[in-house]
Structure 1
Amino acid sequence: MVFFCFLVDQRRTMRSTKPVAGMCSRCGGGARVADMETATRVCYVPVHRRAWRAIVCTFCGAVLKSYQHLGRRR
């Protein structure tokens, strides 16, 4: 018996945030620097996890800029 599972799930979570000077270019809301984590799962089994840092709008939630976080993982 052969069973193929193609269920792929990707979740993005915000670990911590800090206020930053500046405004969102899309809606004019405030911006924050956030430590983000993306977890990719196939059939509910974690396959890949990546930590990164992004500048996020507090009003509309848009990711304004993202860059690789080289600090330690928590």
Structure 2
Amino acid sequence: MVFFCFLVDQRRTMRSSKPAAGICSRCGGGASVAEMVTATRFCYLPFHRKLWRAVICTFCGAVLKSYRHH
């Protein structure tokens, strides 16, 4: 019997954000600091969840800097 299991999806969602000083180096938009959650499902089952913070452009959505949330 052969059973194939593969990565189904990985979703990144923003829990909260607040304005930050600075501008985006890509588009010139404003920046904000956001608490992010990355959820990975493997074979339709929740497998891993990671909490982290990032500096994100409010206009284009680019992640300008990320760091681990303690």
Q: Give the structure with the larger strand fraction.
A: 2
Q: What TM-score, normalized to structure 2?
A: 0.93
- Partners of 1:40 and 1:10 in 2: how far apart? 4
> Aligned residue for 1:8?
8
CA distance in 2, matches of 1:69, 1:62: 19
Structure 2 portions without partners, runs of 5+: none
The number of equivalent residue pairs is 70
1:1-74 to structure 2, matched below 5 A, reads 1-70=1-70
Residue 7 to residue 66, structure 1, CA distance change in 2 (3 Å): closer
Which structure 1 segments of 5+ residues have no match? none
**CA RMSD of the aligned region, Å?**
1.0
Matched-pair identity in %: 79
How high is the TM-score relative to the length of structure 1? 0.88
Partner Cα separation in structure 1 for residue 22 and residue 54 of structure 2: 14
